[in-house]
Amino acid sequence: MAASAAQQLPASSIVVPGQLTLRTIHGRNGPFNVGRLVTPIGKFAVKDAELEQYPEGKYDGEFIIRYIDSKAYPTCDGMRFEIRASLDGMTLSGIDKLSKAEAHAFATQEVDPLDEELAAHSLTPAAPPEPESVPVRASTDPLIDTRPFGVDAPAAAAAASSSPDSDDAALFGLLWPLGESVKLDSTIDRRTLRVQIARLGVLGYGLDFKSQQWNRQPDQQAA
Protein backbone atom coordinates (compact mmCIF):
# COMPACT_ATOMS: atom_id res chain seq x y z
CA MET A 1 0.00 0.00 0.00
CA ALA A 2 1.32 3.43 -0.86
CA ALA A 3 2.59 5.46 2.06
CA SER A 4 1.77 8.97 0.90
CA ALA A 5 -1.20 10.73 -0.65
CA ALA A 6 1.25 12.88 -2.62
CA GLN A 7 1.84 10.11 -5.13
CA GLN A 8 0.29 10.19 -8.61
CA LEU A 9 -3.04 8.43 -8.30
CA PRO A 10 -5.28 6.49 -10.66
CA ALA A 11 -8.12 8.60 -12.04
CA SER A 12 -10.65 6.65 -10.00
CA SER A 13 -8.90 7.24 -6.63
CA ILE A 14 -9.74 10.02 -4.19
CA VAL A 15 -7.85 11.36 -1.17
CA VAL A 16 -9.85 12.15 1.96
CA PRO A 17 -9.03 13.03 5.57
CA GLY A 18 -10.49 10.72 8.16
CA GLN A 19 -10.10 8.48 11.15
CA LEU A 20 -9.49 4.74 10.87
CA THR A 21 -10.55 2.63 13.83
CA LEU A 22 -8.95 -0.82 13.99
CA ARG A 23 -10.26 -3.66 16.13
CA THR A 24 -8.28 -6.85 16.67
CA ILE A 25 -10.47 -9.96 16.85
CA HIS A 26 -9.28 -13.43 17.79
CA GLY A 27 -10.75 -16.02 15.44
CA ARG A 28 -10.12 -19.62 14.51
CA ASN A 29 -7.23 -18.56 12.23
CA GLY A 30 -5.68 -16.42 14.95
CA PRO A 31 -5.96 -12.65 15.47
CA PHE A 32 -7.12 -10.46 12.59
CA ASN A 33 -7.94 -6.78 12.14
CA VAL A 34 -11.11 -5.15 10.89
CA GLY A 35 -11.44 -1.42 10.35
CA ARG A 36 -13.99 1.36 10.24
CA LEU A 37 -13.10 4.50 8.29
CA VAL A 38 -14.97 7.73 9.02
CA THR A 39 -14.52 10.45 6.37
CA PRO A 40 -16.39 13.56 5.17
CA ILE A 41 -17.88 11.49 2.34
CA GLY A 42 -19.15 8.63 4.50
CA LYS A 43 -18.39 5.74 6.84
CA PHE A 44 -16.89 2.54 5.46
CA ALA A 45 -15.68 -0.88 6.53
CA VAL A 46 -12.03 -1.55 5.65
CA LYS A 47 -10.43 -5.01 5.55
CA ASP A 48 -7.32 -4.47 3.42
CA ALA A 49 -4.44 -6.87 4.07
CA GLU A 50 -2.16 -3.90 4.84
CA LEU A 51 -4.09 -3.38 8.09
CA GLU A 52 -3.00 -6.77 9.44
CA GLN A 53 0.23 -5.12 10.62
CA TYR A 54 -1.22 -2.37 12.80
CA PRO A 55 -2.11 -2.56 16.49
CA GLU A 56 -5.66 -1.90 17.61
CA GLY A 57 -6.49 1.78 17.94
CA LYS A 58 -7.78 4.97 16.28
CA TYR A 59 -5.60 6.46 13.55
CA ASP A 60 -5.96 9.97 12.16
CA GLY A 61 -4.65 10.70 8.67
CA GLU A 62 -5.36 10.95 4.97
CA PHE A 63 -6.59 7.94 3.02
CA ILE A 64 -6.48 7.10 -0.66
CA ILE A 65 -9.71 5.29 -1.54
CA ARG A 66 -9.39 3.15 -4.68
CA TYR A 67 -13.01 2.04 -4.86
CA ILE A 68 -16.14 1.57 -2.75
CA ASP A 69 -18.51 -1.37 -2.99
CA SER A 70 -21.14 -3.21 -0.97
CA LYS A 71 -20.51 -6.55 0.66
CA ALA A 72 -22.91 -9.11 2.10
CA TYR A 73 -21.97 -12.15 4.14
CA PRO A 74 -23.81 -14.63 6.37
CA THR A 75 -23.73 -14.44 10.17
CA CYS A 76 -25.14 -16.75 12.81
CA ASP A 77 -28.41 -14.76 12.87
CA GLY A 78 -28.83 -13.96 9.17
CA MET A 79 -27.05 -11.75 6.65
CA ARG A 80 -24.94 -8.67 7.24
CA PHE A 81 -24.42 -5.88 4.71
CA GLU A 82 -21.66 -3.28 4.76
CA ILE A 83 -20.20 -0.58 2.52
CA ARG A 84 -16.52 -1.36 2.13
CA ALA A 85 -13.70 0.94 1.01
CA SER A 86 -10.57 -0.47 -0.61
CA LEU A 87 -7.48 1.64 0.04
CA ASP A 88 -4.60 2.51 -2.27
CA GLY A 89 -2.57 4.06 0.53
CA MET A 90 -2.67 6.22 3.62
CA THR A 91 -0.64 8.76 5.57
CA LEU A 92 -1.12 8.36 9.32
CA SER A 93 -0.44 11.14 11.80
CA GLY A 94 -1.53 9.87 15.21
CA ILE A 95 -2.98 6.99 17.22
CA ASP A 96 -5.28 6.74 20.27
CA LYS A 97 -6.51 3.74 22.22
CA LEU A 98 -10.03 2.43 21.77
CA SER A 99 -12.57 2.98 24.52
CA LYS A 100 -14.65 0.01 25.65
CA ALA A 101 -17.67 1.46 23.87
CA GLU A 102 -15.72 1.84 20.62
CA ALA A 103 -14.43 -1.73 20.85
CA HIS A 104 -17.94 -3.09 21.53
CA ALA A 105 -19.29 -1.16 18.52
CA PHE A 106 -17.73 -3.79 16.26
CA ALA A 107 -19.84 -6.85 15.52
CA THR A 108 -18.98 -9.95 17.52
CA GLN A 109 -19.52 -12.09 14.40
CA GLU A 110 -16.95 -10.31 12.22
CA VAL A 111 -15.84 -12.53 9.35
CA ASP A 112 -12.10 -13.10 9.05
CA PRO A 113 -10.96 -11.62 5.70
CA LEU A 114 -8.80 -14.71 5.26
CA ASP A 115 -11.93 -16.89 5.26
CA GLU A 116 -13.48 -14.58 2.65
CA GLU A 117 -10.44 -14.93 0.42
CA LEU A 118 -10.29 -18.71 0.82
CA ALA A 119 -14.00 -19.01 -0.01
CA ALA A 120 -13.54 -16.86 -3.12
CA HIS A 121 -10.51 -18.92 -4.14
CA SER A 122 -12.49 -22.16 -3.82
CA LEU A 123 -14.94 -20.83 -6.43
CA THR A 124 -12.16 -20.13 -8.94
CA PRO A 125 -11.77 -22.86 -11.60
CA ALA A 126 -8.70 -24.99 -11.00
CA ALA A 127 -5.74 -24.43 -13.28
CA PRO A 128 -4.90 -27.24 -15.73
CA PRO A 129 -2.28 -29.67 -14.43
CA GLU A 130 1.34 -28.97 -15.25
CA PRO A 131 2.87 -31.27 -17.85
CA GLU A 132 5.02 -34.00 -16.38
CA SER A 133 8.70 -33.20 -16.39
CA VAL A 134 11.05 -35.42 -18.35
CA PRO A 135 13.71 -36.94 -16.09
CA VAL A 136 17.26 -36.03 -16.92
CA ARG A 137 19.60 -38.99 -17.30
CA ALA A 138 22.71 -38.48 -15.26
CA SER A 139 26.08 -39.06 -16.83
CA THR A 140 28.24 -41.87 -15.48
CA ASP A 141 31.31 -39.65 -15.92
CA PRO A 142 32.04 -38.16 -12.45
CA LEU A 143 33.64 -35.09 -14.08
CA ILE A 144 30.48 -34.11 -15.97
CA ASP A 145 27.64 -32.37 -14.13
CA THR A 146 24.38 -33.19 -15.90
CA ARG A 147 22.01 -31.62 -13.35
CA PRO A 148 19.59 -29.02 -14.80
CA PHE A 149 20.66 -25.41 -14.34
CA GLY A 150 19.74 -24.09 -10.87
CA VAL A 151 19.39 -27.52 -9.23
CA ASP A 152 21.65 -27.87 -6.22
CA ALA A 153 23.69 -30.94 -5.53
CA PRO A 154 22.10 -33.20 -2.88
CA ALA A 155 24.71 -32.34 -0.28
CA ALA A 156 24.32 -28.60 -0.86
CA ALA A 157 20.52 -28.82 -0.75
CA ALA A 158 20.66 -30.78 2.50
CA ALA A 159 23.03 -28.23 4.01
CA ALA A 160 20.75 -25.36 3.00
CA SER A 161 17.65 -27.00 4.47
CA SER A 162 19.45 -27.59 7.77
CA SER A 163 20.54 -23.95 8.07
CA PRO A 164 19.01 -22.13 11.07
CA ASP A 165 17.95 -19.30 8.75
CA SER A 166 16.45 -21.48 6.03
CA ASP A 167 12.88 -21.25 7.37
CA ASP A 168 13.08 -17.47 7.61
CA ALA A 169 14.62 -17.24 4.15
CA ALA A 170 11.72 -19.26 2.74
CA LEU A 171 9.17 -17.19 4.68
CA PHE A 172 10.46 -13.74 3.70
CA GLY A 173 11.66 -14.55 0.18
CA LEU A 174 13.17 -11.51 -1.53
CA LEU A 175 13.13 -9.57 1.76
CA TRP A 176 15.73 -11.96 3.21
CA PRO A 177 18.20 -11.26 4.72
CA LEU A 178 16.32 -8.69 6.74
CA GLY A 179 17.86 -5.26 7.20
CA GLU A 180 17.43 -2.77 10.02
CA SER A 181 14.11 -1.73 8.43
CA VAL A 182 11.64 -3.98 6.62
CA LYS A 183 8.72 -2.97 4.39
CA LEU A 184 6.30 -5.88 4.02
CA ASP A 185 4.47 -6.55 0.76
CA SER A 186 0.75 -6.65 1.57
CA THR A 187 -0.09 -8.03 -1.88
CA ILE A 188 1.13 -11.52 -0.94
CA ASP A 189 -1.38 -14.01 0.37
CA ARG A 190 -2.84 -12.94 3.70
CA ARG A 191 -1.90 -16.11 5.60
CA THR A 192 1.80 -15.70 4.74
CA LEU A 193 1.64 -12.00 5.62
CA ARG A 194 0.33 -12.86 9.08
CA VAL A 195 3.15 -15.34 9.65
CA GLN A 196 5.68 -12.72 8.56
CA ILE A 197 4.20 -10.18 10.98
CA ALA A 198 4.33 -12.61 13.88
CA ARG A 199 7.89 -13.64 13.04
CA LEU A 200 9.09 -10.02 12.86
CA GLY A 201 7.89 -9.53 16.42
CA VAL A 202 9.87 -12.57 17.55
CA LEU A 203 12.96 -11.32 15.71
CA GLY A 204 12.87 -8.04 17.62
CA TYR A 205 11.20 -5.70 15.13
CA GLY A 206 8.51 -3.13 15.89
CA LEU A 207 6.13 -1.36 13.53
CA ASP A 208 6.50 2.38 12.97
CA PHE A 209 2.97 3.19 11.80
CA LYS A 210 3.93 6.60 10.39
CA SER A 211 6.63 5.25 8.07
CA GLN A 212 4.65 2.00 7.65
CA GLN A 213 7.72 -0.18 8.06
CA TRP A 214 9.20 -2.50 10.67
CA ASN A 215 12.37 -1.37 12.45
CA ARG A 216 14.74 -3.47 14.49
CA GLN A 217 14.36 -2.49 18.12
CA PRO A 218 17.44 -1.74 20.24
CA ASP A 219 18.62 -4.38 22.70
CA GLN A 220 16.45 -7.05 21.12
CA GLN A 221 17.83 -10.49 20.40
CA ALA A 222 16.53 -12.54 17.49
CA ALA A 223 14.93 -15.87 18.37
Q: Any idea what the CATH number is for the domain that residue 78 is in? A: 2.40.50
In a domain, 31, yes or no: yes
Q: Which of 121, 152, 184 is the last residue of a domain?
A: 121
In a domain, 146, yes or no: no
Average pLDDT over residues 145-154: 49
In a domain, 60, yes or no: yes
pLDDT band with cut points at 50, 70 and 90 for residue 115: confident
pLDDT score, position 156? 43
Q: In this predicted model, which residue has the larger pLDDT, 211 or 137?
A: 211
Q: What's the CA gap between 33 and 24, in Å, rounded?
A: 5
Judge if 114 and 198 occupy the same domain.
no
In a domain, 69, yes or no: yes
Cα-to-chain-centroid distance, residue 207: 13
C-beta of residue 71 within 8 angstroms of C-beta of residue 86:
no
Judge if 86 and 185 occupy the same domain.
no
Q: Which residues contact 196 (CB under 8 A, 6 or more apart)?
A: 171, 172, 184
Q: Which of 88, 103, 121 is the last residue of a domain?
A: 121
pLDDT band with cut points at 50, 70 and 90 for residue 164: low
Q: Is it the case that residue 157 has pLDDT exceeding 50?
A: no
Q: Which of 58-62, 102-106, 114-118, 158-162 is predicted least confidently?
A: 158-162
Q: Is it the case that residue 155 has pLDDT exceeding 70?
A: no
Q: What's the CA gap between 116 and 62, in Å, rounded?
A: 27
Q: Which residues contact 1 (CB under 8 A, 6 or more apart)?
A: 48, 50, 87, 88, 89, 90, 186, 212
pLDDT tens-digit map of 205-216:
999 999 999 999
Judge if 117 and 27 occupy the same domain.
yes
Domain that holds residue 203: 163-216
Judge if 168 and 72 occupy the same domain.
no
Q: Is it the case that residue 175 has pLDDT exceeding 90?
A: yes
Number of domains in the chain: 2
Q: Which of 3-12, 29-38, 200-209 is predicted least confidently?
A: 3-12
Predicted TM-score (pTM) of the model is: 0.72
In a domain, 22, yes or no: yes
Average pLDDT over residues 197-204: 95
C-alpha torsion angle, residues 82, 68, 37, 198 (rounded to 10): 90
pLDDT tens-digit map of 32-86:
999 999 999 999 999 999 999 999 999 999 999 999 998 876 666 677 788 999 9
Rounded to the nearest integer, the mean pLDDT of the chain is 79
Q: Which of 121, 142, 174 is the last residue of a domain?
A: 121
Query: How many CB atoms are located within 10 Å of the residue 44 CB?
Result: 22
